[in-house]
Amino acid sequence: MASSTEDTAAIAEEQLIGALKQKLQDMKDDFTKDSTTLRRYLIARNWNIKDAESMLRATVDWRKENQPWRQECLQCYEQPGYHSWRQVGMDKRGRPVIYSCFSQSPVRTYTVDDSLKHLMYLMENAQRTLPPTEYQWIWLLDCTGMPTSAYTNPKVGYTAFQILSNHYPERLGMMIIFNYDTIFEGIFKTLRFFLHSNTVGKVHLHRNMNKIETLFRELFDDELVQWVNEEITLNKEVPLRDTQTNFWNMPSNPADHDPRGCLTYVNKYLNTHFKEATPVESLVMTMAPKIKKHRPHPNILDDLRDRADEAAIEKAEREARQNLEEEKDCTIL
């Protein structure tokens, strides 16, 4: 009986997706042709075709105006570590896991504009690590070191949630917030009345770290659980270690905790990012606006490019020395 009900529901979903696709036939954007995208917008609007259509058309206009796939976080390039929000791994289902901690940023006051540009950069690139069967991601918000100035400008958080709700619907699988104080809790309780219920339902505030640990173990494998716990512990230290402040740098000792992310993420997306690239190729890979390759945090990307350039230069120097030795051998013969 359950299987029959599920089949009926699946058929109904496909019919609604097909109906929405028909409504959008006049649009040439590939964004409106993808069934998974249409499903996300239908879910966000409780399967109401008219509301989902309006929402999707608004997003197409927003994407044309803002071109989120082209966004660069200039603040992070100008002041490394300006934003600490970064992808650090994947959960058991392969969904991107984002981590951010206030204590790792030297900035005490954020503006709406700089925060949204970093958010767009982050979201567009996190999507590039999604497996075909998933479309959501997880966000861990560590409030350790949260400045009091953040309380005076709740517009930043509100606008971020609005962008996620309106233009990245159903992308947020869960947001886990921890190490916050009573002031933050009060502000969020007020803020939630202005947010879509679907978004609010995915936000988990926990003071009890035992509950947080249980949630982590439900979502993540042992490797990522260990990484997150170590990162949280290190970011509570006062003063913060240089390795945590400069979280975008590869640790000098491979055995040390890597603040860039868990080993699986580092090996899959960082260590191979500029592999075998020449300095010119690495620059193109960094600046190409519509490149399909996942791009990590801007400062991690900078560090990787610098290392790739150094490696390419060293390789060229080795080849030059080798050619010189071969020429000497030929002269002797």
User: Residue ranges per domain, the chain?
Assistant: 2-66, 69-270
Summarize the confidence of residues 252-278 as an average pLDDT. 88
pLDDT, tens digit (0-9, with 9 covering 90-100), for 21-57: 999 999 888 888 899 999 999 999 999 999 999 999 9
Summarize the confidence of residues 179-190 as an average pLDDT. 88
Confidence of residue 323 (pLDDT cuts 50, 70, 90): low
Is pLDDT at 150 greater than 80 in this prediction? no
Of the listed ranges 11-20, 34-43, 67-76, 145-154, the one predicted with least confidence: 145-154
pTM score: 0.87
Q: What is the mean pLDDT of the chain?
A: 87
- pLDDT at 325 (0 to 100): 59
* Three-state SS sequence of the chain: CHHHHHHHHHHHHHHHHHHHHHHCCCCCCHHHCCHHHHHHHHHHCCCCHHHHHHHHHHHHHHHHHHCHHHCCCHHHHHCCCCCCCEEEEECCCCCEEEEEEHHHCCCCCCCHHHHHHHHHHHHHHHHHHCCCCCCCEEEEEECCCCCHHHHHCCHHHHHHHHHHHHHCCCCEEEEEEECCCHHHHHHHHHHHHHCCHHHHCCEEECCCHHHHHHHHHHHCCHHHHHHHHHHHHHCCCCCCCHHHHCCCCCCCCCCCCCCCCCHHHHHHHHCCCCCCCCHHHHHHHHHCCCCCCCCCCHHHHHHHHHHHHHHHHHHHHHHHHHHHHHHHHHHHC
- For 69-270, which CATH superfamily applies? CRAL-TRIO lipid binding domain (3.40.525.10)
Q: In the CATH scheme, what architecture does the domain 2-66 have?
A: Orthogonal Bundle (1.10)
